[in-house]
Amino acid sequence: MIEKANLEVFADTLLELARKDKDIIVVTSDSRGSGKLTNFGHELPDQIIEVGIAEQNLVGICAGLSAVGKKVFGVSPSSFLTARSLEQIKNDIAYSDHPVTLVGISAGVSYGQLGATHHSIHDIAVLRAINNINIVVPADNFETKEVIKAAINFKHPLFIRFGKKPMIKLHDGDHNFTIGSGIKLKSGKDLAIIATGETVQRAFKACELLKKIDINCTLISMHTIKPFDEEIFLNSISKVKAVITVEEHSVSGGLGEKCASVMMQKNIHLPFKILGFPDEYMVNGSQKDVLDHYNMSAEKILELAKNLIK
């Protein structure tokens, strides 16, 4: 079932929560339209701070608002938020331990043909290397809504990123969402697919194709990249013949490399493949075309799975 874009769910949830809590403050950098926060601005003008096109300033102001007790959401395109303002994130948010939520919108290759300046395929890697910031990449509407709710009273810095396309429903309602705990969406003994964010949707479709040819998959939505849920990861790979990871991010420093490092250090040796963007001048195209090109379509994942467990 097709639902809303995670972006819309984020904006609706935040507005709902902010109506009841005057301490919730959103900070934008000419990004309220891109963040679907135009209604928020109309309805709660005193709870939105606009800094203009100044992302470094945005992050510093978020830290300051938090320092006087506000529950702060800094919202800007993930690319600018995490590249341009990296030092502010590192020092003013993470090191200083201000419980700000930074929301990276239009993450991954959501911006399609706008190209490399707008792609955010470094954000997970750079923030993984910074102490004291949690990283959550929700896969669907349910996870998005839950992480925004959880963010309000979260006690430490948090980074959340997602895209802007409508998502399919992955959860049937009986899942719990906790920051730091991955969610098992499917169980199977042949293959484990560990995915994060919107690529979980592609992996989900791949699992359904694989089932038709009797390859049964375990699928984990690893929505929290940091802290990493080692337990669910090790559990999910304990009986399978191969492991595939999928992420809308560079293969350098992302989810896949994290999984590989856990396996190596536990002496687990299985056929293993990381799907993500290689270290090259990337092909230009829409988000869908780019993901397909780099083998992250359901069909390509199916082929890869067949080869890995052969």
Ligand X SMILES: Cc1ncc(C[n+]2csc(CCOP(=O)(O)OP(=O)(O)O)c2C)c(N)n1
Place of tokens 């304990």: 238
Which residues share a beta bridge with 104? Answer: 76, 161
Smaller CB distance to other proteins: residue 107 or 240? Answer: 107
Asked if residue 216 lies in contact with residue 210, where contact means CB atoms within 8 angstroms, the answer is: yes
Residue 76 and residue 73: Cα distance in Å, rounded?
10
Of residues 288, 274, 13, the one with CA closest to residue 143: 13
Smaller CB distance to other proteins: residue 163 or 188? Answer: 163
Residue 175 and residue 124: Cα distance in Å, rounded?
25
| Binding flag, residue 30, ligand X (CB under 6 A) | yes
Smaller CB distance to other proteins: residue 56 or 196? Answer: 56
With CB under 8 A as the contact rule, the residue among 6, 47, 56, 110 that binds other proteins is: 56
Shortest Cβ distance from residue 36 to ligand X (Å)? 15
With CB under 8 A as the contact rule, the residue among 284, 303, 306, 307 that binds other proteins is: 284
DSSP structural state of residue 92: I
Question: Mask of contacts with ligand X, 219-248, x by CB under 6 A?
Answer: ------------------------------
Residue 93 and residue 138: Cα distance in Å, rounded?
21
Smaller CB distance to other proteins: residue 4 or 84? Answer: 84
Shortest Cβ distance from residue 110 to ligand X (Å)? 13
Task: State which of positions 49-108 bind ligand X (CB under 6 A).
Answer: 53, 80, 84
| Binding flag, residue 113, other proteins (CB under 8 A) | yes
Which residues share a beta bridge with 84? Answer: none
Residue 265 and residue 279: Cα distance in Å, rounded?
25
Place of tokens 């135009």: 38
Shortest Cβ distance from residue 68 to ligand X (Å)? 27
- Residue numbers of the site for other proteins (CB under 8 A)? 28-34, 50-54, 56-57, 79-80, 83-84, 113-118, 283-286, 289
